[in-house]
Amino acid sequence: MKSLQTKIFLFFVLLLLLVQSIALWTLIKGNNAQEQQEISNRLTTAKTIFTEQFNSRRDYLAAFAETAAKDYGIKDVFEDDTRSLLFALNNHRKRINADLAMAISANGNITAQLQVSHLDNAKTKVQKGSELGSQFKHTDWLESQEKSHLYMLDGTLYQLSLSPLSVGTSTIGWLAFGFEINQTLATHFLEITRLEVDFILNQNNQWLLIASSNPDADINFAKNIVNGQTPEQYIAIGELITEFDDQQFGLAMYGLRADIVKLLQEQWWQFLILTFITLLLSLTSAYIIAASITKPIKRLVKQAKMIARGDYQQKIELKDSSELGQLADEFNLMQQAVLTREQEITHRANHDPLTELPNRNILVKTLNQCISNKTSFQLFHLNLSRLKDVNETLGHDVGDWLIQRTADRLKKLSQFTLLCHLGGDEFILLFEKKEKHSITELVKNINTALEAHCDYGGINLQLQVRIGISSFPEHSNVDKTLLQMADTALQNARKNNKNYQCYDKSLDVNSVERLNLINDLKHAISDNQLELHYQPKLDLKTNVVTHAEALVRWYHPTLGMIPPDSFIHIAEQTGQINSLTRWVVATAFSQSATWRKDNIDINVAVNISAENLKEPDFYEFICNTLTANKVPANKVTLEVTESAVVDNPESAIMLLQRFKDTGIKISIDDYGTGYSSLAQLKQLPVHELKIDKSFVQHLHEDEDDRIIVRSTIELAHNMGLSVVSEGIEDDFALRWLAKQGCELGQGYFISRPKPTNDFTAWIKKQEVLSVEKG
C-alpha cells in the first residue's frame, strides 16, 4: 500500500473509474432521449429512401419513354404492322426490364400491349395485355403534360410513363412503359429500411391493399398508419401520395417497437462490453506505466542501499533522459565522490601526514598478518637522535624537514617488508628473516643510507639513529609485545649509548604481561589467590628434616600458577611486597604453630626482600606475629639476599641485629651471586650462608663449582656461620656436601616444594623413617 508503484496505480485506477463512470452516467442519461431520436431518424430515413427511389423510378421511366418515342424503327411500324410493333415494343421494354409496355394510336386505341407476369419460380412471362385493341381509359392523360401516372391493369398496379410519338409536327400516337408496384418492391424496401412496407390505393373511396412485404398485412392497419395513427407497440410512418391524377396512393412503413429497442439494447450491451474491455486495457497499461515509472526508482533505491553497504563498484545505468536519468547520473557521481572521500579518509587514517608513510594502524595489521602466516621477521624500532635539539635550536620546520629526509632515505632501503612512521622521531622497519640478512648487516645498511650529511640552508645536519630490535617468533607472537620489546631494546641502546640493541629478556623491566600482572597482583591477596608451598631442608649430619622454606605461589584466575620469579620483583617495584611478605609471614608462622600442635618441630624460613628491611615497623610486625602464633623466635629463619643488605647496610644491619638479638635466625640467600666480599659479610649479624643453587646443581661434573663450594663452606665455618646448600639435584651432591661438613641441604633430590598438606604428610613419613633408623 505504501509503495510508490501502488500509489501511482491506484491514482490511475481512480482516475479511470471516475472518467468511465462520468461517461457511463452521461450515456445512460442520453440513452432514453437517444432511443426516441433513433426511432424518428430511422423512420424519416426510411421514408426519404422510399421517396427517392420511387421518384427516380418515375423519372427513369419518363426519360426512357421519351427516348423510345424518338426511335424511327418504332415510328415505321407504328401504324401498320401490329406484329412488328409488338416486337419492336418488346425490344424497348426489355432494355429497362419494364413490366408493362403499350402503344396507343392517335385516336386512343391501344394498338400494342405487353404485360410481364411474375411467376412463382422467379421466372417471368411476357404476354399480350388484355386491353389490346380496346380504347385507352384515360384519354385525358394523353393530352396532359403529366408524365407519370398510376395505372391499374387486371388488378395489378403500375407506375406508368407516357410519351407522344411525333412525326413532324403531328402526333401519331403514344408509347407507355410501366413498372409494377408489387411485393418485390415492398420486400426491397424492407431489406433497405428494415421496416415492413404496405402499398395501398384508394379507388372509388375504397381502400385496396396493393402489395406488402408483410404476409399478414392488414388494410385497416395500413390505412391507420397512412392517416397518422400508430398503435402503441409499433413504430411507423405513413404517406399519402396524391400527385397521381385524382388517385390516392398510400404507403405504410412500420416495425415492432420491441424489435428496434432490442436492437438498440444490443448496441448498448456492445457498448458496455467495449467499455469494460477498454477499462481492463487501461488498467493494464496503468499498471505497466506505474511499474515503468517506479522501476528506475527501485533501482535507485537498491543502488543507495549498496552505497550504504560500502559497495562502490557497481554503477547504475538508466537509459532515461528524464529527471530520473539525471538522478541516476548524480548517484554515480555521488558514489564516486564518496569512494574518493573514503579512500582519502582511509589513507589519512593509515598514513603519517608529514612523511606519507604508513602509520601504526598499517604496522599492527602487517605484524598480525606476518604472525598468522608464520613469517618470521625482525622488527627494527628506529629513533632519530637529537631531533629535540634541532627543534629547539633551529625550529620545528627544520625538524620536520629532517624527518622527511630520514623517511626519503629509509624508503631507498630495498630489503624491508614495511617502513612506518609512528610520528615524531620514531620509525619502524620490518625485515623478513632471510639467510643473507644478518642483523649487523641490516644495521649497517641503515647507517649507510643515513650517513650523508643533510644541507639545510647552509647548515650541515647529520642523521643518526638508535635502533631497538625484536624478532618473531623468538621473542613473542603478540604484535604489541613485539613492539614493546623493540622499544625496550631501543631504550636500552639509548641508555648505554649504543647504535643498536637486540631485545633480551634481561632488558625487560616493563613488559605488557608485567603491566597486567601489576594490576592483577593488587587483588591476589584479597582474592585468596596466594598459597605457600614448603620445601624441606635436610640436616646432612642426622638425615632429619629440621627446617623448611616457605615459597609463595600465585594461582592466577586466568593464567594459572605463576612462579614467584615472575611476580616477586613486580611486587617489589610497585610497593606491593610489604603486604605480600606480611601475608607470607602470617601464613607461615600460623602454619608453624599448627605443626607444633601436631608435634612437628620444624624451623620455618621465609624470604625477606630488601624493601621489607626499609619498613619502619617491620621488626614489630615480625615479633607480634611470632607472639600471636606463640612460635618461639629460634624456630624461624629470615632469608635475606646479600644485595638487600649490602645496598643499604647501616639501617639493614641494625634491623638484622635486632632480629638476631630476639633469637630469630638470619640467612644470607643466593650467596655467591652478588659481589660482596666476605669482609663485608663479616660485619653482618647473620647465622648462616645459603650457597646459591647455581654452584650446587652441577657439582658432580664441575670441578670449579666443587672448589668454590668447598672453600665457601670452609670460610663460612671459619667466620662461625653455618652453611645451607640449595639446588641439590642428585645423590652425588648430597653425599659430597655432607662430606664437606655442610650443615643443611635443600633441593629437588630431597623434595620439591610441596603444598602444605602434602608437606605435612611427607614430613610425618620422614619422622617415622628417622625414628626407625634411630
Our CB check for Ca ion shows the closer of 201 and 689 to be: 689
Contacts with ligand C2E: how many residues (CB under 6 A)? 25
Binding mask 216-255 for ligand C2E (x = CB under 6 A): ----------------------------------------
Tell me which amino acid residue 80 is: D
Q: Return the residue of 213, 492, 587, 607 that touches Ca ion, per CB under 5 A.
A: 607
**Closest separation in Å from C-beta 581 to Ca ion:** 12
Cβ-proximal residues to 115 (8 Å cutoff; 6+ apart), any chain: 99, 100, 126, 127, 128, 129, 130, 153, 154, 156
Contacts with Ca ion: how many residues (CB under 5 A)? 4
Instruction: Point out which span in 349-357, 410-418, 469-477, 720-728 binds ligand C2E (CB under 6 A).
Output: 720-728
**Closest separation in Å from C-beta 670 to Ca ion:** 4
Tell me which amino acid residue 623 is: C
**Closest separation in Å from C-beta 485 to ligand C2E:** 24
Which residues between 526 and 585 bind ligand C2E (CB under 6 A)? 535, 551-552, 563-565, 568, 581, 584
Binding partner of 475, given ligand C2E, Ca ion, none, CB within 5-8 angstroms per partner class = none
**Closest separation in Å from C-beta 551 to Ca ion:** 7
728 binds ligand C2E (CB under 6 A): yes
Residue closest to 54 by CA, chosen among 194, 197, 162, 196: 197
Our CB check for ligand C2E shows the closer of 217 and 551 to be: 551
Residue closest to 523 by CA, chosen among 555, 497, 498: 555
30 binds ligand C2E (CB under 6 A): no
Instruction: Point out which span in 402-410, 439-447, 573-581, 601-609 binds Ca ion (CB under 5 A).
Output: 601-609
Q: Return the residue of 479, 487, 688, 726 that touches ligand C2E, per CB under 6 A.
A: 726
**Closest separation in Å from C-beta 696 to ligand C2E:** 8
Element spanning 556, H or E: strand 544-556
Cell of 521: 597482583
Our CB check for ligand C2E shows the closer of 484 and 609 to be: 609
CA triple 327-331-336, angle to 5 deg: 150
Distance CA 85, CA 93 (A): 12
Distance CA 244, CA 150 (A): 6
Residue closest to 720 by CA, chosen among 669, 685, 674: 685
Residue closest to 89 by CA, chosen among 18, 174, 180: 174
Helix 479-495 to helix 360-373 angle (10° resolution) is 110
Tell me which amino acid residue 46 is: A
621 binds ligand C2E (CB under 6 A): no
Instruction: Point out which span in 107-115, 347-355, 482-490, 601-609 binds ligand C2E (CB under 6 A).
Output: 601-609
Question: Cell 615459597 appears where?
Answer: 551
742 binds ligand C2E (CB under 6 A): no
Our CB check for Ca ion shows the closer of 469 and 684 to be: 684
**Cβ pair 450, 467 in contact under 8 A:** no
**Closest separation in Å from C-beta 479 to ligand C2E:** 30
Cell of 62: 419518363
Residue closest to 470 by CA, chosen among 491, 454, 453, 449: 491
Residue closest to 626 by CA, chosen among 579, 592, 674, 575: 592
Binding mask 622-651 for Ca ion (x = CB under 5 A): -----------------x------------
**Closest separation in Å from C-beta 596 to ligand C2E:** 21
Our CB check for Ca ion shows the closer of 260 and 638 to be: 638
**Closest separation in Å from C-beta 564 to ligand C2E:** 3
Which residues between 649 and 708 bind ligand C2E (CB under 6 A)? 669-670, 693, 697
592 binds ligand C2E (CB under 6 A): no
Residue closest to 197 by CA, chosen among 250, 233, 251, 249: 251
Instruction: Point out which span in 138-146, 197-205, 744-752, 757-765 binds ligand C2E (CB under 6 A).
Output: 744-752
**Cβ pair 275, 289 in contact under 8 A:** no
753 binds ligand C2E (CB under 6 A): yes
Q: Return the residue of 213, 607, 625, 766 that touches ligand C2E, per CB under 6 A.
A: 607
Return the residue nearest ligand C2E (CB atom).
747
609 binds ligand C2E (CB under 6 A): yes
HSE on the CB side for 196, CA within 13 Å? Answer: 20
729 binds ligand C2E (CB under 6 A): yes
**Closest separation in Å from C-beta 669 to Ca ion:** 4
- Burial class of 344 by CB neighbour count within 10 A (0 to 12, 13 to 18, 19+): exposed
**Closest separation in Å from C-beta 602 to ligand C2E:** 17
Binding partner of 564, given ligand C2E, Ca ion, none, CB within 5-8 angstroms per partner class = ligand C2E
Which residues between 57 and 116 bind ligand C2E (CB under 6 A)? none
Our CB check for Ca ion shows the closer of 487 and 639 to be: 639
In order, the DSSP letters of 646-711 are HHSHHHHHHHHHHHHHHT-EEEEEEETSS---HHHHHHS--SEEEE-HHHHTTTTT-HHHHHHHHH
**Closest separation in Å from C-beta 555 to ligand C2E:** 14
**Closest separation in Å from C-beta 763 to ligand C2E:** 16
Alpha helices in 413-557 (DSSP H): 439-451, 479-495, 512-524
Binding partner of 551, given ligand C2E, Ca ion, none, CB within 5-8 angstroms per partner class = ligand C2E
| Beta-sheet strand order (sheet of 377-384) | 418-423, 426-432, 377-384, 465-472, 500-502
**Closest separation in Å from C-beta 639 to ligand C2E:** 6
**Cβ pair 636, 664 in contact under 8 A:** yes
**Closest separation in Å from C-beta 472 to ligand C2E:** 28
Instruction: Point out which span in 11-19, 268-276, 303-311, 606-614 binds ligand C2E (CB under 6 A).
Output: 606-614
Return the residue nearest Ca ion (CB atom).
639
Which residues between 701 and 760 bind Ca ion (CB under 5 A)? none
Distance CA 98, CA 60 (A): 11
748 binds ligand C2E (CB under 6 A): yes
- Burial class of 454 by CB neighbour count within 10 A (0 to 12, 13 to 18, 19+): middle
Our CB check for ligand C2E shows the closer of 75 and 553 to be: 553
Our CB check for Ca ion shows the closer of 157 and 691 to be: 691
Cβ-proximal residues to 172 (8 Å cutoff; 6+ apart), any chain: 75, 78, 79, 105, 106, 165, 166
Distance CA 455, CA 460 (A): 5
What are the CB-based long-range contacts (under 8 Å, 24+) for 530-533?
A: 530/554, 530/555, 530/580, 530/583, 530/584, 531/555, 531/755, 531/756, 532/584, 532/587, 532/588, 532/591, 532/756, 533/753, 533/754, 533/755, 533/756, 533/759
Binding mask 659-698 for Ca ion (x = CB under 5 A): ----------xx----------------------------
Distance CA 43, CA 252 (A): 11
The site for Ca ion (CB under 5 A) is made up of: 607, 639, 669-670
Residue numbers at the binding site for ligand C2E (CB under 6 A): 535, 551-552, 563-565, 568, 581, 584, 606-607, 609, 639, 669-670, 693, 697, 726-729, 746-748, 753
